Amino acid sequence: MTITLPAAKPTVANFSSGPCAKRPGWTPQALKDAALGRSHRAKIGKTKLEQAIEETREILRVPADYRIGIVPASDTGAVEMALWSLLGARGVDLLAWESFGSEWVTDVVKQLRLADARTVKADYGEIVDLAAVDSRARDVVFTWNGTTSGVRVPNADWIAADREGLAICDATSAAFAQPLDWPKLDVVTFSWQKALGGEAAHGMLVLSPRAVARLESYTPAWPLPKIFRLTKGGKLIDGIFKGETINTPSMLCVEDYLDALAWARSIGGLDALIARADANLAAIERFVAATPWIDFLARDPATRSNTSVCLKVVDPAVAALPAEAQAAFAKALAGAIEKEKAGFDIASYRDAPPGLRIWCGATVETADVEALMPWLDWSFHKAKAELSLAA
Name 370's Cβ contacts closer than 8 Å, sequence gap at least 6. Answer: 283
pLDDT tens per residue across span 289-301: 999 999 999 999 9
Instruction: Please report, rounded to a whole number, the percentage of residues in the chain having pLDDT higher than 90.
Output: 97
Q: How confident is the model at residue 189 (pLDDT cuts 50, 70, 90)?
A: very high
pLDDT tens per residue across span 329-342: 999 999 999 999 99
What is the pLDDT averaged over residues 358-384?
97
What gap in Å lies between CA 190 and CA 334, rounded to an integer? 27
Q: Where are the alpha helices (DSSP H) in the chain?
A: 43-60, 74-86, 99-106, 209-217, 251-267, 270-290, 316-319, 323-339, 366-386
What gap in Å lies between CA 49 and CA 274, rounded to an integer? 25
**pLDDT at residue 1 in the model:** 61
**pLDDT at residue 171 in the model:** 98
**Contact criterion met (CB below 8 Å) for 173 and 145:** yes
What gap in Å lies between CA 104 and CA 110, rounded to an integer? 10
**pLDDT at residue 2 in the model:** 73
pLDDT tens per residue across span 115-170: 999 999 999 999 999 999 999 999 999 999 999 999 999 999 999 999 999 999 99
**pLDDT at residue 388 in the model:** 77
pLDDT of 205 higher than 70: yes
Residue type, 156: A
**Contact criterion met (CB below 8 Å) for 72 and 201:** yes
**pLDDT at residue 3 in the model:** 85
Residue type, 297: L
- In 3D space, the residue among 219, 206, 208 whose CA is nearest the CA of residue 184 turns out to be 208
What is the pLDDT averaged over residues 48-64?
98
What is the pLDDT averaged over residues 18-47?
97
Q: Does 19 sit behind a cis peptide bond, omega within 30 degrees of 0 on the bond before it? A: yes
- In 3D space, the residue among 94, 97, 102, 142 whose CA is nearest the CA of residue 119 turns out to be 94
pLDDT of 391 higher than 50: no
What is the pLDDT averaged over residues 246-265?
97
Q: Is the pTM of this model over 0.95?
A: yes
- CATH 3.90.1150.10: does it fit domain 269-386? yes
Q: Burial, 26: exposed, middle or buried (Cβ in 10 Å; 0-12, 13-18, 19+)?
A: middle
* Mean pLDDT of the residues in the chain: 96
Q: What is the CATH number of domain 28-266?
A: 3.40.640.10
pLDDT of 390 higher than 60: no
- The full length of the chain comes to 391
CA atoms within 13 A on the CB side of 98: 28
What gap in Å lies between CA 67 and CA 280, rounded to an integer? 32
Q: Burial, 206: exposed, middle or buried (Cβ in 10 Å; 0-12, 13-18, 19+)?
A: buried
How many CB atoms are located within 10 Å of the residue 165 CB? 22
pLDDT of 250 higher than 80: yes
At residue 202, the 3 state secondary structure works out as strand
Domain definitions of the chain by residue range: 28-266, 269-386
